[in-house]
């Protein structure tokens, strides 16, 4: 069943707000990552505003779904989405990376208790979500009703630990686990296929015992359909390879690996905000 | 003489003193902990019997996870389980966990403040014939440098059992260092044990009788070498040197009171451990005393070297951790003491 048209429009608007907050917080911080947060905004929006069973007013609710961000450096999108979802004030986003801020440069669950984990050093998020799902299985059996999500980068898949965890999840047939890979084809040093080729990425996961889907990571209907299918698979973990456009939403930044790890300056931020507020120039008037 | 208040093994000096691998005590302690606390789960990286987790696995198969040879995953899966309310024990050889998965332990366990208990078996040079690749003599340094981590190095199987059971009662991540080989049983079930408390195991009869510190020496020992330290103390005592031996099972947090008292009483200390001198228990003691009661210290341990194949006795004596080495260090220290 696909999403209703009105829902798609609502999610698109929300994702646009979230992208604007990302640009603003990065400008304020003066350091941080731009490409990944922008290109994952649609998936984060879909998860926090549609799929996740959660309660921003009661973040430690024990029956909530669990979501682990493995590539912690894209935390501006996590923070921005959580703020817009009501976990903390949107105004707090401007404290990103500042001394004493709850919004550490890479997420720290102790500082911001509504986070499921800390991340930054790549490759360990999948292991943690597998551990969470296994612990839940011990307590509640295979039909616990909780879903476990892990969001990873593609460059991160160079880490051996990812494949250790993939092997274990395959062996344990963790059916309520969905991994979504941000397949934006870039990492710090360049394009992923030049740095360390990942293709055929789908076959790799299939060989580890996973159900594999590949989608357009900016199409809410496809995201919804793929997550729905992932939930329906009952005998193995699921991975969704979400093809995304690095820095999606700001044409001047798109597809360029240079934007992996730097923030926009004032001029670039103004340009980006203009692009976002006018839906890429489609809307004329005061927003320009 | 052995400190009577510690109720140590009365047959300790017998030639055929009962022995057991320290890791065996861990296996029994884990089983006991799991029986009394259902949050306890066990994860092992393909060394279940070797690390003595098999007792737990047999009794609680649903709470055991076989990880295969994947130590990084071992640490982080445990962190995830702890986030769901479990108290995970992870085991492998110390060389691999915490040797190979240090960053995962730092970030996903300690930075996250997760109560994961790490048992590193086959620690020390006494692993013997397996050779230098398998002789973890850096693990204490690796673990004690991480904030929140509690580091325990039991001296025998009984103490290892107590330490394992008590580790469940504290929230911190805990590293429990275990030796492979048979080690004399020093303590008894009645010997008091508390995480963070050092115990006086040996004190010369005339130790308190003399009013000056001259002739007094303090020995601080940990792990499997505590027995050697006690043997050395006994011989020194027979020569008229006044000795007190402290069993420092918990290396972090350090029992600063006990260490300071010993330094004040003796004016000189010898530390004894089966670990690199750099960064080990001796370093922890020296770091503290340098700031509080600065006294001369001699360090028994590995001197910036890798091990090799051999029997435990051959290796301990080759790398300067035998009974004779301890006795010589005490005598060197007596020369260095200012009074």
Looking at this predicted complex, what is its ipTM?
Answer: 0.95
User: Does residue A283 sit within a domain?
Assistant: no
Which is catalytic among the residues B28, B71, B138, B159? B71
Instruction: Answer yes or no: is A286 within a domain.
Output: no
Query: Taking residues A34-43, what's their average pLDDT?
Result: 97
Number of structural domains, chain B? 2
Identify whether A23 is part of a domain. yes
Q: What is the CA radius of gyration of chain A?
A: 18
Partner residue facing A135 (CB), from B70, B86, B113: B86
Statement: residue A285 has pLDDT above 80? no
Is residue A89 a part of any domain in this protein? Answer: yes
State the Rg of chain B over Cα: 19
pLDDT at B208 over 90: no
Which pLDDT score, from 0 to 100, does residue B212 have?
60
The residue from B139, B157, B184 where one domain ends is: B184
Read off the tokens for B182: 């048979």
Q: Which of A62, A105, A128, A161 has the highest number of chain B CBs within 10 A, making it the mutation to test binding with B?
A: A128
Residue B198: give the domain boundaries. Answer: 4-8+192-336
Mean pLDDT of A12-25: 97
Q: Among B189, B268, B192, B269, which Cα is nearest to B229's?
A: B269
- The reply to whether A199 falls in a domain is yes
Q: Is A91 helix (H, G, I), strand (E, B) or coil?
A: helix
Same domain (yes/no): B199, B179: no
- Number of cross-chain residue pairs from A and B with Cβ atoms under 8 Å apart: 99
From B184, B201, B228, the end of a domain falls on B184
What chain B residue is nearest to A160 in terms of C-alpha separation? B72
For A170-174, A278-282, B151-155, which range has the lowest pLDDT when averaged over its residues? A278-282
Tally of residues, chain A: 288
| Distance between CA atoms of residues A52 and A44, nearest Å | 10
CA distance B315 to A236: 50
Rounded to the nearest integer, the mean pLDDT of chain A is 95
CA–CA separation, B176 vs A23, rounded Å? 47
Domain ranges, residue A56: 5-277
CATH of the domain at B310: 3.40.50.920
Cβ(B262)–Cβ(B244) under 8 Å?
Answer: yes
Edge-to-edge strand ranges of the sheet holding B117-121: B64-66, B40-44, B87-93, B117-121, B174-177, B150-152, B250-252
Mean pLDDT across chain B: 97
In a domain, B157, yes or no: yes
**Does B14 reside within a domain?**
no
Burial class (CB within 10 angstroms; exposed 0-12, middle 13-18, buried 19+) of A98: middle
User: Which pair of structure tokens corresponds to residue A71?
Assistant: 């590539």
**DSSP 3-state assignment of A92?**
helix
- The pLDDT, as a whole number, for residue B337 is 87
* Shortest Cα–Cα distance, A115 to chain B (Å): 11
pLDDT of B3 > 80? The answer is: yes
Number of separate helices (H) and strands (E) present in chain A: 10, 7
Same domain, B135 and B196: no
Question: What residues does B311 pair with on adjacent strands?
Answer: none
- Helix, strand, coil proportions of chain B in percent (round to 5)? 40, 20, 40
Strands B150-152 and B250-252: antiparallel
| Cβ proximity of B179 and B223 under 8 Å | yes
Q: Facing residues of B270 across strands? A: B219, B298
Domain check: are B166 and B297 in the same one?
Answer: no
Structure tokens at A73: 């450096």
- Residues B168/B35, Cβ–Cβ less than 8 Å: no
Read off the pLDDT of each residue in A122-136 and give the average, rounded to a whole number.
98
B238 and B312, same domain (yes or no): yes
Give the pLDDT band (50/70/90) at residue A284: confident
Q: Check: CB of residue B56 under 8 Å from CB of residue B32.
A: no
Provide the pLDDT confidence category of residue A287 given band limits of 50, 70 and 90.
low
pLDDT score recorded for residue B339: 65
DSSP 8-state secondary structure symbol assigned to residue B61: G
Q: Which of B41, B77, B113 sits opposite A168 (nearest CB)?
A: B77
pLDDT at A142: 86
Do the chains contact at A132 and B107, CB–CB below 8 Å? no
Q: In terms of DSSP H, where are the helices of chain A?
A: 5-29, 35-39, 41-46, 75-85, 125-140, 160-172, 192-195, 201-207, 220-232, 266-277
Helix, strand or coil, per DSSP, at residue A186: strand
Instruction: Mark whether B205 and B156 lie in a shared domain.
Output: no
Domain shared by B265 and B150, yes or no? no
- Is the pLDDT assigned to residue B117 strictly greater than 80? yes
- pLDDT tens per residue, range B145-166: 999 999 999 999 999 999 999 9
B212 & B278 share domain:
yes
Give me the pLDDT at residue A281, please.
78
pLDDT per residue over B30-61, tens digit each? 999 999 999 999 999 999 999 999 999 999 99
Which residue, A42, A81, A98, A21, is CA-closest to A244?
A: A42
Q: How far is B321 from chain A (nearest CA, A)?
A: 37
CB neighbour list of residue A151: distance below 8 Å, 6 or more residues apart:
A40, A43, A44, A67, A68, A69, A70, A71, A125, A179, A180, A182
Average pLDDT for A173-183: 97
Q: For chain A, how many structural domains are there in total? A: 1
Domain boundary among B152, B184, B216: B184
Same-domain pairing of B177 and B203: no
Is residue B145 situated within a structural domain? yes
Contacts of B56 (CB under 8 A, 6+ apart): B27, B30, B31, B34, B42, B63, B64, B89
Any idea what DSSP says for residue B62?
G
For residues B160 and B234, membership in a common domain is answered with: no
Please tell me whether residues B79 and B106 are part of one structural domain. Answer: yes
Q: Name residue, tokens 């004030």.
A: A89
Q: Any idea what the CATH number is for the domain that residue A148 is in?
A: 3.40.50.970
Burial class (CB in 10 A: 0-12, 13-18, 19+), A64: middle
- Same domain as B51, residue B151: yes
Q: Examine residue B197 and state whether it is found in any structural domain, yes or no.
A: yes
Q: Is B71 a catalytic residue?
A: yes
With 60 as the cut, is the pLDDT of residue B204 above it?
yes
Residue B332's CB is within 10 A of a number of other CB atoms, namely 13
Task: Count other C-beta atoms under 10 Å from residue B54's C-beta.
Answer: 17
Give the C-alpha separation, A189 to A194, whole Å. 9
- Dist CA B236 CA B215 (whole Å): 11
Specify whether B174 is located in the same domain as B228. Answer: no
| Helix or strand holding residue B237 (H, E) | helix B226-238
Which residues from B are below 8 Å from A when comparing CB atoms? 41, 62-63, 65, 67-68, 70, 72-73, 75-86, 88, 103-104, 107-108, 111-113
Q: Is residue A105 part of a domain?
A: yes
pLDDT in the model for residue A282? 80
How confident is the model over B252-308, as pLDDT tens digits? Answer: 999 999 999 999 999 999 999 999 999 999 999 999 999 999 999 999 999 999 999
């Amino acid at each position: 069943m696909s999403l209703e048209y009105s829902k798609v429009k609502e999610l698109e608007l929300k994702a646009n707000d979230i992208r604007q907050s990302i640009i603003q917080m990065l400008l304020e911080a003066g350091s941080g990552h731009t490409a990944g947060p922008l290109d994952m905004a649609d998936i984060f929006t879909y998860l926090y505003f549609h799929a996740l069973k959660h309660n921003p007013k009661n973040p430690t609710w024990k029956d909530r779904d669990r979501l682990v961000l493995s590539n912690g450096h894209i935390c501006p999108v996590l923070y921005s989405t959580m703020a817009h979802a009501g976990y903390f004030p949107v105004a707090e986003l401007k404290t990103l990376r500042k001394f004493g801020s709850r919004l550490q440069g890479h997420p720290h669950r102790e500082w911001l208790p509504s986070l499921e984990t800390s991340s930054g050093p790549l490759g360990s998020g999948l292991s943690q979500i597998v551990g969470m799902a296994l612990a839940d299985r011990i307590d509640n059996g295979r039909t616990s009703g909780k879903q476990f999500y892990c969001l990873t980068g593609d460059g991160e898949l160079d880490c051996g630990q990812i494949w250790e965890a993939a092997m274990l999840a395959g062996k344990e047939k963790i059916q309520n686990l969905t991994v979504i890979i941000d397949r934006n084809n870039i990492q710090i040093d360049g394009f992923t296929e030049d740095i360390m080729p990942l293709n055929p990425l789908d076959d790799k996961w299939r060989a580890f015992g996973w159900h594999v889907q590949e989608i357009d990571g900016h199409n809410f209907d496809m995201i919804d359909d793929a997550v729905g299918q992932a939930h329906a698979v009952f005998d193995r973990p699921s991975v969704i390879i979400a093809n995304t456009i690095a820095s999606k939403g700001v044409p001047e930044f798109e597809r360029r690996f240079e934007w992996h790890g730097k923030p926009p300056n004032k001029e670039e931020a103004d340009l980006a905000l203009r692009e976002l507020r006018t839906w890429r120039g489609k809307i004329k008037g005061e927003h320009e | 003489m052995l400190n009577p208040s510690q109720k140590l093994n009365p047959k300790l000096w017998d030639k055929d003193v009962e022995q057991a691998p320290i890791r065996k005590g861990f296996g029994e302690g884990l089983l006991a902990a799991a029986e009394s606390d259902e949050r306890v789960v066990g994860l092992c990286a393909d060394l279940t019997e070797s690390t003595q987790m098999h007792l737990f696995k047999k009794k609680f198969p649903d709470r055991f996870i076989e990880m295969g040879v994947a130590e990084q995953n071992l640490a982080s899966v445990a962190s995830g389980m702890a986030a769901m309310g479990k108290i995970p024990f992870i085991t492998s050889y110390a060389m691999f966990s915490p040797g190979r998965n240090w960053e995962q332990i730092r970030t996903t366990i300690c930075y996250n403040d997760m109560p994961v208990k790490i048992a590193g078996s086959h620690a020390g040079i006494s692993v013997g014939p397996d050779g230098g690749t398998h002789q973890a003599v850096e693990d204490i340094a690796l673990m004690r440098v991480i904030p929140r981590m509690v580091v325990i190095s039991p001296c025998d199987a009984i103490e290892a059992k107590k330490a394992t059971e008590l580790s469940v009662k504290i929230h911190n991540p805990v590293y429990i260092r275990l030796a492979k080989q048979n080690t004399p049983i020093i303590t008894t079930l009645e010997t008091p044990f508390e995480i963070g408390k050092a115990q006086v195991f040996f004190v010369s009869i005339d130790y308190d009788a003399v009013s000056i510190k001259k002739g007094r020496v303090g020995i601080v020992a940990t792990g499997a070498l505590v027995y050697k330290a006690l043997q050395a103390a006994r011989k020194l005592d027979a020569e008229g040197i006044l000795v007190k031996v402290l069993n420092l099972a918990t290396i972090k947090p350090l029992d600063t009171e006990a260490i300071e008292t010993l330094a004040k009483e003796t004016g000189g200390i010898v530390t004894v451990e089966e670990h690199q001198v750099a960064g080990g228990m001796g370093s922890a003691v020296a770091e503290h005393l340098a700031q509080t009661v600065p006294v001369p210290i001699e360090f028994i341990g590995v001197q910036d070297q890798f091990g090799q194949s051999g029997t435990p006795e051959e290796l301990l004596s080759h790398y300067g951790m035998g009974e004779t080495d301890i006795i010589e260090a005490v005598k060197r220290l007596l020369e260095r003491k200012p009074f």
